[in-house]
Structures are given as C-alpha cells and as structure tokens.
Amino acid sequence: LQLLYCAGWVHRDISEGNILAHRNDLKNSSTPWKAKLMDLEYARKFPPPDNYEAAVDPKTGTPYFMPTEILAMEYLYQPIEEVEIMGRSKYTANTNAPSRDIVIHNFQHDLESLWWLILYLIISHIKDQPIEDWQNSVFKDAVERCKNWAAPIFQNVIGLSAGRRFCFKYSLMKATESFIPENVAPVVNALEVNRRTLLRSFMVRVKDGNLRNIDSYAHIHLDFGELLEEIQALRVNWRQFSLKTSEKTSIVKKTLPTAAPAAVTATSAAAVALAPPGKVKAKREPDQNPNLEEQGRAGGSQAGGKKSRHGR
C-alpha cells in the first residue's frame, strides 16, 4: 500500500481474498512470511480530476472491509454552524461541508479496509480457541457475545449500519473485552490506538480541506506501519491464536505453526460463526469498465479500452 501511495494510486478493494501470503521455504518454520497485494482491477489514480463525479462511480468491493465513509456516502467530519432563527441561536449543518455525493476513495480508506480485515480475522476465529485462553469470567458465553456484537458490524450489504459506525467511532477495547481471549487482547489494544489515529486523521483532513493533498496522507501511512510492526512484535501472543483449517487445506495444516490441540474449544460452548465475507457490486452498465475514466465514468467503449475480467 505504501508503494501504491507513492505511485499515486488507491486500491479500493482490500479484502482477505486479495492478499496472498507465502514462504520461500515451507519446510523451514523460521522462514519469514511475505504478503502480496493483488487484484488491481478497481484501482484508480488519486487525486481524481476536478470534474470527477463520485456519484456515478459504482461502489464495489467486500462490504466487510469497506471504509466507513464509503459505506455511509458521507465524510465523518460534518461541521455545524450557529445561525439565528427568530432571535434564537440554533445549530445546523454547515452548507460549506462536503456533500454526500462526492465521497472519493482515498489512500487512508485503503488503510481502514486493512484495519477491518485484521479485526475480522480475530473475531471470526474466536470460536476456535481453547478454553484455557480465557479467564473463567470471560469464557462463559464468550462466543455468543462475540457473534451478537459482530453481526451488525460485518454485513454483506453496501450501507453503513449503526453498529459499524459505533464500532469505528468509539472504544474497541470496551466493546470487546467480554469475549476477547487473553492472547490477542494486546493486538486488539493496538487496533484501538490506531482506530483513534485513523478517526482523528479523517476528521482533521476534511476540516482543513486537504482531501486532495497527497502529502496529508504520509503521516497516517507511517502510523499504520507502526501498527503492523507492533502486531509483529506481539507474535509470541497471537501465534497461539488457533486458526481452524479444513481437510482440503491439509498442506497448510502441516506447514503452519498452530496452537496445541485442546479437548474443549469455544465452539463446543456455542456453535456459532460469522457468515463469510462476500463481494457486492453496484449495478454497472454493460459498457462500463472500472479501469477507464472519462469525467469520473468508466467507459469500456473508449478507444484503446479493454474489458474487465468479468466481461463488463
């Protein structure tokens, strides 16, 4: 993502299916893992031209990981101003604030998608953890509480739910402390610190009118890099976090380090799980291609244009 940022491109479709992890030597557990970001089908140059029409740009991606502002179709920062109505002061929305129909996917939105992905990887595997990873007071009904909390946050629809908005705007630690195992609590704490940084950066950038200023995204990239470094430093904790695999992935089971098997897991307490994430696309005309732009539209009929891999 930092390379894309330096090149002036936004990915716009960060998801678990678009990140590949590999080792040069699968037989050597000390060989470091490397991650590769793939699928640039919906990538765009940033900033877009001044006549860019975001309202006609179809929203596409995996809703589980889509940024808050893109799902809401409005910026998080919505200033208010004081006006006088019939001799009394009233507060109303600032008419100079960015309108709902011009939310443009920017560099920080890609980082937020990665933030949601890390949170999802933790939440979706709560059910696979051995009992001893919880304190007794936390384990009781932990999986059920996790499901009830996550269900309104991770949904396969393009639209911002109240639960997802609340999750990104308020304390993640307080919301999850009743069901997070001890071995990943430090990772969730790191996500919480970064959430505050992301939220503040979103607000300040719009307030200061720097949405199109590429330099204004440099610090948040550095901050997110520090988050990943902190998570890596906590690997002694999270490497004990069990990732359940199917029989079809036996090669992975043989090569990946996993936690020692336990007789009882959280699944036996409550057999519940999140639905898998799915890609959702807004309706697009047959001749539109998301890789080609003309006044904010993707026109597959342009000279030199080519169809996407979906034939659209």
What is residue 279's predicted lDDT score, i.e. its pLDDT? 73
d(CA 122, CA 187): 9
Identify the helix (H) or strand (E) that includes residue 93.
strand 88-93
pLDDT above 70 (res 258)? no
Q: Would you say 118 and 191 are in contact if contact means Cβ atoms under 8 Å apart?
A: yes
What is residue 118's predicted lDDT score, i.e. its pLDDT? 95
Mean pLDDT is highest, among 33-37, 221-225, 303-307, for: 221-225
Q: And the tokens for 125?
A: 């595997």
d(CA 165, CA 75): 12
Q: Exposed, middle or buried by CB within 10 Å (0-12, 13-18, 19+), for 311?
A: exposed
Count of residues making up the chain: 312
pLDDT above 50 (res 310)? no
User: Which residue has tokens 């359940």?
Assistant: 244
Q: Is residue 20 helix, strand or coil?
A: strand
Q: Would you say 77 and 201 are in contact if contact means Cβ atoms under 8 Å apart?
A: no
Q: Would you say 187 and 95 are in contact if contact means Cβ atoms under 8 Å apart?
A: no
- Tell me, what amino acid is at 232? Q
In a domain, 95, yes or no: no
In a domain, 161, yes or no: yes
Beta bridge partners of 19: 37
Full residue range of the structural domain in which residue 151 is found = 54-78+100-234
Q: Cβ atoms within 10 A of the Cβ of 48, count?
A: 19
In a domain, 165, yes or no: yes
pLDDT band per the 50, 70, 90 thresholds, residue 45: very high
Cα–Cα distance list, 10 to 46, 115, 302 (Å): 6, 16, 22
pLDDT above 60 (res 60)? yes
In a domain, 154, yes or no: yes
User: Which of 261, 271, 228 has the alpha carbon at shortest distance from 131?
Assistant: 261
Lowest mean pLDDT among 8-17, 190-199, 249-258, 295-304: 249-258
For residue range 182-221, what is the model confidence (pLDDT) as tens digits? 888 999 999 999 999 999 999 999 999 999 999 999 999 9
pLDDT above 70 (res 125)? yes
pLDDT above 50 (res 299)? no
Q: What is the mean pLDDT of the chain?
A: 75
In a domain, 70, yes or no: yes
| Count of the separate structural domains present in the chain | 1
151 or 311: which leads in pLDDT:
151
d(CA 305, CA 298): 10
